[in-house]
Chain A
Amino acid sequence: MDENKTPKYKPKMWFDEERPEGYEYTPGTFSRLPYIKTLENVDFVVAGIPFDTLTSNRPGTRFGPQAIREAYGGVAYEGIGIEAFDYLSGVDYGDFKVINGDTSRSFQTITEEMSKILKAGVVPVILGGDHAITYPELLAYRDVYGPVSLIHFDSHTDTWGGEESLDFPTHGNPFRNAILTDCLDCEHSIQVGMRGMMKNEHDYDFAREHHLEQIFATDLHKMGIYEAAQKIREKVGTNKVVVTFDIDFVDPAYAPGTGTPVPGGFTSHETLELVRSALVGLNIVGFDLVEVAPNYDPMENTQLLANKIVCEFINVLAANKAGRTHYEHFGR
């Protein structure tokens, strides 16, 4: 590779003992990326939002970002099949300064920080936090890009709520609020994996009224990963896409460390394969991965999987930059 094009920031390997000046390895960063709060010379930043005030059941996702960072893993060739840091430069941006208990100020911080990142043309890779944080993120996407397409992996639709949803955001209504504030291009957005608690048969009405397509878990199990991936790809087309991944999309057997787990989900292999086959080649402008509550997983498998999913997000970005249009093992 041309020397000038070598990405500026990339992970430090654990066996590298040399520590060149100004390129220090800080313990506990995502994938051993350098911990620098910069938006220059980077393609993506990994940032944490340790906010869990709006969780309905078991709280504790404030510890998610650090648990995901520290899980064993890191960006690797295996899977999509790309050496991501031949193409990409990225840093660990640290955490946004949110205040648990103070929703309005925290949301303001999230939107401001996200806008800063997006205006610099950098792809944010966000570690949550509960799912409520995706709403202020989407406000920033709207301000910079206009309404965006959404690919939403989850076991819940998160479009609940009524009249007061804009005044009282929770982790059950981020997408209702996002739709109400024109953040989403619903015609080209899709939700995948829904199987969560329904209060009644009207729970999905709001999404349907706004033409937000859903693939239910039962249907996904029937149609298989690759057909679902194809549906997702067709739905979003060449639009600018935000990917939001709630870890409870995955079955509790594989990801117990979350506030509202729902059985009947997907294995870690199915999940990773779906992420790879659905996302490579799409015009992705941002990711988040939310709802990891490490205190509920003593074996640390949840953060292990979350770490891997985030690594695949980064590999997708690299594949896109390398000019790949699709996942090369698609359907095989």
Chain B
Amino acid sequence: MEKKFDAGFNTYKSLPYKANLDECDYVIAGVGFDSATSGAPGTRFAPNAIRNAYWKNMGYNQNVKVWSDYAYGTDYGDIEIKSGYILPTFHMITSALKDFLTHGVIPIIIGGDHSITLPELRAIKEFYGPVALVHFDSHRDVRCFGTKYDHGTPFSRAAEEGLLDMAHSIQIGMRGGFHSKEYYDFGKDQGMKVIHAYEMMDMGADKCIEAILEQVQDKPCFITFDIDFLDPAAAPGTGTPVPGGPETTLARKIIREIGTRLDVKGFDLVEVAPDIDSGGLTVQAADGILVDMIATIAKRKELGILKRGSGIPLCPDTEAKTAEFEAANLADPENKPAFGSAGIHTFMGLLESKDIKDADAVLYGMPYDCATSNRPGTRFAPRAIRKHWGFSNYSIEFQFNQKENFKAVDYGDFAVPYQNCHDTMIKVTDQLRDILNNTDAVTIGVGGDHALTFGELRAMKEKYGPMAFIHFDSHTDTWETLDEDGNCEINHGTPFRMAIYNGSLDATHGIQVGLRSGAEHDHDFAMSHGMKIIKAHELHKIGIEETAKRIREAVGDKPVFVTFDIDFVDPAYAPGTGTPIIGGFSTAETLKLLRLALPGLNIKGFDLVEVAPQYDTGNITSLAGAAIISEFLTIASYNKNIANK
């Protein structure tokens, strides 16, 4: 096929612009629509950003082992939309796709937010009947309450409209925004399969591929790829990122394997928001996935198994049924907003309140960073972490609704004087004592630097006695800094030496996990007081399960304080911190460790410290921090509602 080029128009991989569709195997089109986004918008810029990612022809794909040019493709530019208006845009998308499908080509759509998949599926159904859905995402997008048409509802709507072959559909990577048991269970009774992120991490790529092939079999299918399937460290440029996801490598491998074996009728890639990207990571990831997808089409063509569409509609009544549905849905008086804006941002969107008498968990911020040795800036952490929202009500890992029978409140920030570290410690102790005197709730502090934990431990000790201690960190924080009188000074490298000195810490029931910095004898002090230590290299070797077991053994049933320094996490996942140390752990590993180690322990308090948003990229560190706090809340609720029953 002859290639036509339009000067000045960057087509995807220099494909011909608007070539004859009858000669093509696939067509690329952009849908720059982001008006149905709940998080950060900006996916309207994705089609052109991805086109500009790397203009070069695709050539030989060494992984699929095929010349990508063997399949003919064309770039049709962007489908016309009406920004700001959802239903008119949906109709424009459906009719554009129908135009493509009358020529029998495979549409490859670059979004846009995920709402656009619904109108795409309407067109696909018209030509191929209900299709199997292969859905890569961190969210199931099957919300059944609230706004009817937005980027959180495409697949509940599609199921209602009969666009999907549910018994052969599969969702992979799910880990975020589980509102309820209903959401968790959606479609499973009709045979839809869901692989959650935590399951996927254990299964690995090969077992995921097997599961997908087994579920879809030889049915016609549609692959939809939400870029937030990937971990925010690999793809920060998206509106609703969720930590704890896979790498690009895994995603591309799955796409290559299933793409060559399934009867793919259409593909879309959505939710890339280039303007909030970091270093072009997200756009590059999206580009890689598209390249592999296209190579699989070439491969199927080479093998002679690529089925061209007939161009004749199987279900010509789709449009009329859609109109029926829309009318019914819009007349629905229950069509209320799913998420009211919270006004003032609070941790996890919790109630902001000083009324803590009947609370089960009290969260407080400590915006203080004057005891930091290297890069300061953690004073901005509480506000950065408060900006993140949309955490699950329903815990997919523990399988219970954590919000039920569990009241958590945001107490606001502690007043911390900046001038003097000793004053600050006294203030932190005083204010935490106030809370502890008024409630038996679990407390969750958000730093600030790690020195603050010393102030917190003093207040905890007054109520509970010397605390057993679980410490996730890359540093021991039991160093010695002497002042002119020879006394140890408080700073963010000494809190636990100080706490051992004054008896706040019961080091014989203490354990430090993830340590990977310092000199030969740095740990002698802690160990001489009975502290157990699992260094990072050891954790990597013995694995998460064994580490969790050792943590539980170390603390027993003593009252525990859990302190989490974000630099426990690897700087690739959490760069925004004062003293990052490489060789750490992914967010998925971190969250798994918390889930295995902490449930059922007698935990009285948590804190999360050392997030420094100004060194962050794409807000991934504050997001990781928020996810860890959210996990603390889940575990506190689990301890109250399940473990203690």
Interface set of A (CB-CB < 8 Å, partner B) = 15-17, 19, 24-29, 35, 48, 50, 52-56, 58-60, 62-63, 66, 69-70, 92, 94-103, 105, 168, 170, 295-296
Whether B86 contacts A94 by the Cβ 8 Å rule is no
Which of B335-343, B400-408, B495-503, B597-605 is the contact stretch? B335-343
Whether A52 contacts B412 by the Cβ 8 Å rule is no
Whether B352 contacts A26 by the Cβ 8 Å rule is yes
Which of B36-44, B536-544, B635-643 is the contact stretch? B36-44
Cα distance, A59 to B36, chains bound together (Å): 12
Residue among A28, A52, A92 with max Cβ neighbours from chain B (10 Å) = A28
Whether A60 contacts B37 by the Cβ 8 Å rule is no
Neighbouring B residues of A66 by C-beta, 8 Å: 345, 387
Neighbouring B residues of A50 by C-beta, 8 Å: 341
Residue of B nearest to A21 (CB): B354
Cα distance, A48 to B340, chains bound together (Å): 13
Q: Mark B363-407, 1 if CB is under 8 A from A, else 0.
A: 001000000000000000011001100000000000000000000
Cross-chain pair count, CB within 8 angstroms: 95
Q: Would you mind naming 16 contact pairs between A and B with Cβ atoms under 8 Å apart?
A: A16-B415, A27-B386, A29-B344, A54-B84, A55-B84, A56-B83, A59-B42, A60-B275, A66-B345, A70-B383, A94-B343, A95-B343, A100-B35, A100-B38, A101-B36, A101-B147
For the complex formed, measure the closest distance between the CB of B378 and the CB atoms of chain A, giving whole angstroms.
Answer: 15
Report if B34 contacts A (CB, 8 A).
yes
Neighbouring B residues of A296 by C-beta, 8 Å: 275
Report if B417 contacts A (CB, 8 A).
yes
Whether A24 contacts B365 by the Cβ 8 Å rule is no
Whether A97 contacts B341 by the Cβ 8 Å rule is yes
For the complex formed, measure the closest distance between the CB of A216 and the CB atoms of chain B, giving whole angstroms.
Answer: 28
With A95-B341, A95-B342 known as contacts, the answer to whether A101 contacts B35 (CB < 8 A) is yes
Whether A98 contacts B352 by the Cβ 8 Å rule is no
Residue among A35, A58, A70, A101 with max Cβ neighbours from chain B (10 Å) = A101
Whether B44 contacts A59 by the Cβ 8 Å rule is yes
Within 8 A of A (CB), among B79-122: 82-86
Whether A27 contacts B341 by the Cβ 8 Å rule is no
| B150 contact from A48, A97, A101, Cβ within 8 A | A101
Whether B344 contacts A59 by the Cβ 8 Å rule is no
Residue of A nearest to B354 (CB): A24
For the complex formed, measure the closest distance between the CB of B237 and the CB atoms of chain A, giving whole angstroms.
Answer: 11
Q: Mark B266-283, 1 if CB is under 8 A from A, else 0.
A: 000000000110000000
Neighbouring B residues of A59 by C-beta, 8 Å: 34, 41-42, 44
Cα distance, A69 to B37, chains bound together (Å): 23
Whether A168 contacts B382 by the Cβ 8 Å rule is no
Neighbouring A residues of B345 by C-beta, 8 Å: 28, 66
Cα distance, A101 to B115, chains bound together (Å): 11
Cα distance, A48 to B44, chains bound together (Å): 24
| B427 contact from A17, A26, A62, Cβ within 8 A | A17
For the complex formed, measure the closest distance between the CB of B623 and the CB atoms of chain A, giving whole angstroms.
Answer: 15
Whether A60 contacts B42 by the Cβ 8 Å rule is yes
Neighbouring A residues of B36 by C-beta, 8 Å: 101
Cα distance, A278 to B140, chains bound together (Å): 53
Q: With A15-B417, A27-B344, A295-B275 given, name 5 new contacts (CB 8 A).
A: A26-B412, A60-B275, A70-B383, A92-B344, A295-B42
Neighbouring A residues of B440 by C-beta, 8 Å: none
Cα distance, A62 to B85, chains bound together (Å): 17
For the complex formed, measure the closest distance between the CB of B306 and the CB atoms of chain A, giving whole angstroms.
Answer: 37
For the complex formed, measure the closest distance between the CB of B85 and the CB atoms of chain A, giving whole angstroms.
Answer: 7
Report if B161 contacts A (CB, 8 A).
no
Cα distance, A170 to B83, chains bound together (Å): 9
Interface set of B (CB-CB < 8 Å, partner A) = 34-38, 40-42, 44-45, 82-86, 147, 149-150, 275-276, 337, 340-345, 352, 354, 365, 382-383, 386-387, 412-413, 415, 417, 427
Cα distance, A150 to B198, chains bound together (Å): 56
With A17-B415, A29-B344 known as contacts, the answer to whether A58 contacts B42 (CB < 8 A) is yes
Whether B386 contacts A103 by the Cβ 8 Å rule is no
Whether B382 contacts A27 by the Cβ 8 Å rule is yes
For the complex formed, measure the closest distance between the CB of B329 and the CB atoms of chain A, giving whole angstroms.
Answer: 12
For the complex formed, measure the closest distance between the CB of A185 and the CB atoms of chain B, giving whole angstroms.
Answer: 29
For the complex formed, measure the closest distance between the CB of A163 and the CB atoms of chain B, giving whole angstroms.
Answer: 15
Neighbouring B residues of A60 by C-beta, 8 Å: 40-42, 275
Whether B37 contacts A58 by the Cβ 8 Å rule is no
Neighbouring A residues of B45 by C-beta, 8 Å: 58
Cα distance, A56 to B342, chains bound together (Å): 26
Neighbouring B residues of A56 by C-beta, 8 Å: 83
Neighbouring B residues of A52 by C-beta, 8 Å: 41
For the complex formed, measure the closest distance between the CB of B152 and the CB atoms of chain A, giving whole angstroms.
Answer: 10
Whether A28 contacts B41 by the Cβ 8 Å rule is no
| A99 contact from B337, B382, B387, Cβ within 8 A | B337
Cα distance, A62 to B41, chains bound together (Å): 9
For the complex formed, measure the closest distance between the CB of A116 and the CB atoms of chain B, giving whole angstroms.
Answer: 15
With A26-B412, A66-B345, A94-B344 known as contacts, the answer to whether A100 contacts B41 (CB < 8 A) is yes
| B343 contact from A25, A35, A168, Cβ within 8 A | A35
Whether B275 contacts A102 by the Cβ 8 Å rule is no
Cα distance, A58 to B43, chains bound together (Å): 10
Residue of B nearest to A103 (CB): B84
With A17-B415, A17-B417, A70-B383 known as contacts, the answer to whether A100 contacts B344 (CB < 8 A) is no
For the complex formed, measure the closest distance between the CB of A283 and the CB atoms of chain B, giving whole angstroms.
Answer: 30
Residue of A nearest to B148 (CB): A102
Neighbouring A residues of B83 by C-beta, 8 Å: 54-56
Neighbouring A residues of B35 by C-beta, 8 Å: 53, 100-101
Residue of A nearest to B276 (CB): A295
Residue of B nearest to A17 (CB): B415
Cα distance, A53 to B34, chains bound together (Å): 8
Neighbouring A residues of B275 by C-beta, 8 Å: 58, 60, 295-296
Whether A98 contacts B84 by the Cβ 8 Å rule is no
Neighbouring B residues of A102 by C-beta, 8 Å: 86, 147, 337
Cα distance, A29 to B412, chains bound together (Å): 11
For the complex formed, measure the closest distance between the CB of A95 and the CB atoms of chain B, giving whole angstroms.
Answer: 5
For the complex formed, measure the closest distance between the CB of B240 and the CB atoms of chain A, giving whole angstroms.
Answer: 13
Neighbouring B residues of A26 by C-beta, 8 Å: 344, 352, 412
Cα distance, A70 to B381, chains bound together (Å): 13
| B386 contact from A28, A29, A99, A101, Cβ within 8 A | A28
Cα distance, A229 to B36, chains bound together (Å): 41
Cα distance, A53 to B344, chains bound together (Å): 21
| A24 contact from B41, B337, B412, Cβ within 8 A | B412
Residue of B nearest to A167 (CB): B85
Whether B37 contacts A101 by the Cβ 8 Å rule is yes
Neighbouring A residues of B365 by C-beta, 8 Å: 27
